[in-house]
Amino acid sequence: MKKKIMMLMLASILAVTCYGKGIVSKCKEEQVPPKDWVSIQLGVWIDMPTSTINSNVSGLKIGLPMSTGIGRVEGVEAGVFMVGTDEVMGLQAALGACFNEKMEGLQAALGLSYCDKNMDGMQTGLVNIAEIVVGFQAGVVNCVKEMNGAQAAALVNYSEYTDGAQLGVLNACHELDGTQIGVINIAKKSSKGIQIGVFNSCRHGGIQFGLLNYIKDATIPMMPLFNIRL
């Protein structure tokens, strides 16, 4: 019963987040963030009140239960269910989900943390998703296009390009320039780093330590304990 409730809660978080993201994106085609700044602002729903749509906050923006907007927050954006201002410099936090386009600082949620473009700092949540991360992701599942830093997951880390480290049960990337430590480590295209795990796999290059190691273009592709192709 508890498992079903948790699954339902996560599904609701994802649905509301995607819905809110779509509405804000549509507004952005018509709205331009103003030059004026306010020190505190209250949001109650997606784009409600309307004063939250294109405002800039230097201080505190609160979502009871949620807040969105196409402007900026320099300080703290915090909400109960969801927060989603486009640009945040400081802290963005919610019990349910956080999303933005550009983040500098800490993004933290019990459910989903989502950054559509650049994340400079730390993401933490059940699921973390970003386009480019310079910093750190910590959660159950981490997903990013380009990672410059470290991912630590209870289950899965995924990136197209990793310059740094992946620590999890399953670590997967297209190109690795750093370290993977986990049960299963996969570098789909190439590795210029080290893989340490039970099973390590790479098409080209790298150093591997594990029970079973596979490098497609190595002299001996499949090796126990250790494999290398420089």
Give the span between the Cα atoms of 98 and 86, in whole angstroms.
10
H helices of the chain, in order, are 2-28
- Per domain, the residue ranges of the chain are 2-127, 134-229
Which of residues 213 and 22 earns the better pLDDT score?
A: 213
The beta-carbon contacts of 128-131 under 8 Å, at least 24 apart in sequence, are none
Is residue 61 classed as helix, strand or coil in its secondary structure? strand
pLDDT of residue 36: 83
Q: Look at residue 225 and tell me whether its pLDDT is greater than 80.
A: yes
Is residue 19 classed as helix, strand or coil in its secondary structure? helix
Note the pLDDT tens digit of each residue in 120-171.
999 999 999 999 999 999 999 999 999 999 999 999 999 999 999 999 999 9
Q: Look at residue 33 and tell me whether its pLDDT is greater than 80.
A: no
Which of residues 24 and 39 earns the better pLDDT score?
A: 39
CA dihedral (193, 194, 197, 203) positive or negative: positive
CA 105 to chain centre: 13
Instruction: Name the band, by pLDDT with cuts 50, 70 and 90, for residue 18.
Output: low
Q: What average pLDDT does range 93-111 have in this prediction? A: 97
Q: Where are the beta strands (DSSP E) in the chain?
A: 37-43, 56-63, 66-79, 82-94, 97-109, 112-176, 179-191, 194-204, 206-215, 222-229
- What is this structure's pTM? 0.85
Instruction: Name the band, by pLDDT with cuts 50, 70 and 90, for residue 75.
Output: very high
- Say which residue the tokens 């963005």 belong to: 92
Q: Who contacts 131 (Cβ-Cβ below 8 Å, separation ≥6)? A: 115, 116, 117, 118, 119, 144, 145, 146
Q: What average pLDDT does range 105-123 have in this prediction? A: 97
Is residue 96 classed as helix, strand or coil in its secondary structure? coil
CA dihedral (25, 27, 33, 37) positive or negative: negative
Token pair listed for 168? 């999890």
Is residue 11 classed as helix, strand or coil in its secondary structure? helix
Q: What is the DSSP letter of 29?
A: T
Note the pLDDT tens digit of each residue in 46-71.
999 999 999 999 999 999 999 999 99
Q: Look at residue 180 and tell me whether its pLDDT is greater than 50.
A: yes
pLDDT of residue 9: 44
